[in-house]
Structure 1
Amino acid sequence: MSTVKERLEHLGLTLPRAAAPVANYVPFVRSGNLVVISGQICLGADGKLGPAHTGKLGAEVSTEDGLVAARLCALNVLAQLDAAVGDLDRGVVQCVRLGGFINCVPSFSAIAGIMNGASDLMVAVLGERGRHARSTIGVAELPLDAAVEVEAMFEVR
């Protein structure tokens, strides 16, 4: 079985630096064998929100860019998880849940498809440990006008 690092490399990805919170909250909380990750927006490898991932799905943001944004959110979730447990191979038992928030116009009905970008990445990186329960909602606004935000819960060792 390949390691998380090898899977990331195979996908052409590396974990970014875990983003610092921008308000009065912490990026994750560990309680017993659970880690809850605060919502992560679609920051790129440079730690910035790109113009293709700013705005609303169904208006300024294309479906393709929305999928990439959700994938970036999941990568940022994994960076926070790595900061919480120190070793994604040994420390993670299971992704329990992902919650997705899609910044979209009221008539945009493909929010579940956008969230697949995050879900698919979680499974691609963690394998069966990445399979999770999920909820996805469309919202009127997100911090910094991000297109997507993803929160998560993991069972850890």
Structure 2
Amino acid sequence: MAKERGQRVIASNRKARHDYEILDIYEAGIALVGTEVKSLRHGRVSLADAYASVDDGEIFLRGLHVPEYTHGSWTNHEPRRVRKLLLHRKEIARLIGKTHEGGLTLVPLSLYFKDGYAKVELALARGKKAHDKRQAIAKRDAQREIQRAMGRFAKGRDLA
């Protein structure tokens, strides 16, 4: 079988970009068992409740739901087990320092295959307040209206 090339997104956490202010993004590998990989290749995963935490100088992904592989046997995995993230030592030290700093959390943004390896895009984020969310929505709506007006102007239509 030919080796897989390129990047294929399995799942993305769109709500994370709405609920959090993204400060920094890291790419991390995930320690998985065989049936988890097969289930991921079928695109069956949920990042909705997932988050990362620091334990004993290592970073773990918690709350990631990977359903059991349908053709698996007694060797099937537990759907919500804790999974170790694979990062460089310097990155781990930096993330530990930032999360202990206060108010920052580690949130998975997307899960994908890159050259055959399962990877997670991990964000160092700060939670948004309700008024920040409203401001972001208002700003996005204003940008959309500006683009529409520019499009109408470019087509020679009336601006009113």
- Between Structure 1 and Structure 2, which shows a larger proportion of strand residues? 2
Q: Under TM normalisation by the shorter chain, which class is it?
A: under 0.3
More helix by share: 1
Q: Which has the larger radius of gyration?
A: 2
